[in-house]
Amino acid sequence: MNNIYLKQAIRGIKSNPSRTLLTTLGIMIGIGTVILVLSAGEGFKSYINSQVEAFGTNTVIVQTSVPSSTKSRSGGSSSKEANNSASNAVPITTLKIHDIEDIQNLNNVKNAYGASVGQQIVTYKGISKTALIFGASAARFDIDKGVIANGRGYSYQEDKSLSQVALLGSKVASDLFGDTNPVGKEIRIGNSNFEVIGVYASKGGFGPMNEDEQVFVPVTTLQRKIQGIDYLIYGVVELMDNSKADATSLGIADLLRHNHYINDPIKDDFKVQTQKESLSTFDTILQAVTFLLIAIASISLIVGGVGVMNIMYVVVTERIGEIGLKKALGARGRDILYEFLIEAVLLTLIGGVIGIIGGSFFAFLIAKFAESMGLAWKFIVPIWGVIISVSVSMIIGIVFGVFPARNAARLDPIVALNRE
Amino acid sequence: MLIELKNIVKNYDNGGVVTKVLRDVNLSVEEGEFVAIMGPSGSGKSTLMHTIGFLDRPTSGTYLFDGENTEGFSDDELARIRNNRIGFVFQSFNLLPRTSVLDNVMLPLMYNNSKANQEHRAKVALEAVGLGERLNFMSNQISGGQKQRVAIARALVCDPKVIFADEPTGNLDSKSGSTVMNILEKLNKEGRTIILVTHDKQVALHANRIVTIRDGEIVSDVLVPESERVHSKEIKDDTDL
pLDDT, tens digit (0-9, with 9 covering 90-100), for A235-267? 999 888 888 888 888 899 989 998 988 888 888
Q: Can you tell me the ipTM of this complex?
A: 0.91
CB contact under 8 A, B94 and A333: no
Counted domains in chain A: 2
Give the DSSP per-residue string, A178-193.
Answer: TTS--TT-EEEETTEE
pTM (predicted TM-score): 0.73
Give the CATH number for residue B187.
Answer: 3.40.50.300
Of the listed ranges B77-86, B101-110, B113-122, B123-132, the least confidently predicted one is: B113-122
Name the residue among A330, A331, A420 with its Cβ closest to that of B92: A420
Q: Is residue B32 part of a domain?
A: yes
The residues that bridge with A120 in the sheet, in sequence order, are A131
* One domain for residues A198 and A258: yes
Residues in chain A: 420
pLDDT above 90 covers a percentage of chain B that reads 66
- A158 vs A156: CA distance, rounded Å: 5
Q: Is residue B155 part of a domain?
A: yes
Name the residue among A330, A414, A420 with its Cβ closest to that of B111: A330
Q: Is residue B233 part of a domain?
A: no
Angle at A33 between CA A27 and CA A38, to 5 degrees: 130
* One domain for residues A263 and A284: no
CA nearest neighbour of B22 among B38, B4, B43, B6 = B43
* One domain for residues A106 and A250: yes
Contact residues, chain B, for A322 at CB < 8 Å = 96
Domain that holds residue A163: 96-268
CB contact under 8 A, B82 and A328: yes
**Chain segment B157-207, per-residue pLDDT in tens:** 999 999 999 999 988 998 899 999 999 999 999 999 999 999 889 999 999
**Chain segment B71-93, per-residue pLDDT in tens:** 889 999 999 999 999 999 999 89
Counted domains in chain B: 1
Q: Quick one: closest CA in B to A330, which residue? A: B83
Residues in chain B: 241
Name the residue among B92, B103, B107 with its Cβ closest to that of A329: B107
**Chain segment A364-395, per-residue pLDDT in tens:** 999 999 888 878 888 989 999 999 999 999 99
Q: Is residue A58 part of a domain?
A: no
Q: Is residue A209 part of a domain?
A: yes
* One domain for residues A161 and A246: yes
Decide if B63 contacts B4 (C-beta within 8 A). Answer: yes
The residues that bridge with B86 in the sheet, in sequence order, are B162
Q: Is residue A273 part of a domain?
A: no
- Tally A–B CB contacts below 8 A: 64
Q: Which of A268, A290, A325 is the last residue of a domain?
A: A268
- Mean pLDDT confidence for A4-32: 86
Q: Is residue A159 part of a domain?
A: yes
* One domain for residues A214 and A298: no
Q: If phi over 0 gives left and psi between -120 and 50 gives alpha, with beta otherwise, what is residue B67? A: left
CB hemisphere CA count around B195 (13 angstroms): 26
Q: Is residue B83 part of a domain?
A: yes
Decide if B121 touches A, using CB distance below 8 A.
Answer: no
* One domain for residues A264 and A287: no
Name the residue among A14, A15, A330 with its Cβ closest to that of B79: A330
pLDDT at A89: 56
* One domain for residues A217 and A284: no
Q: Quick one: closest CA in A to B49, which residue? A: A414
- A348 vs A332: CA distance, rounded Å: 25
CA nearest neighbour of A381 among A397, A395, A365, A393 = A365
CA nearest neighbour of A275 among A234, A243, A232, A233 = A243
Inform me whether the pLDDT recorded for A199 exceeds 50: yes
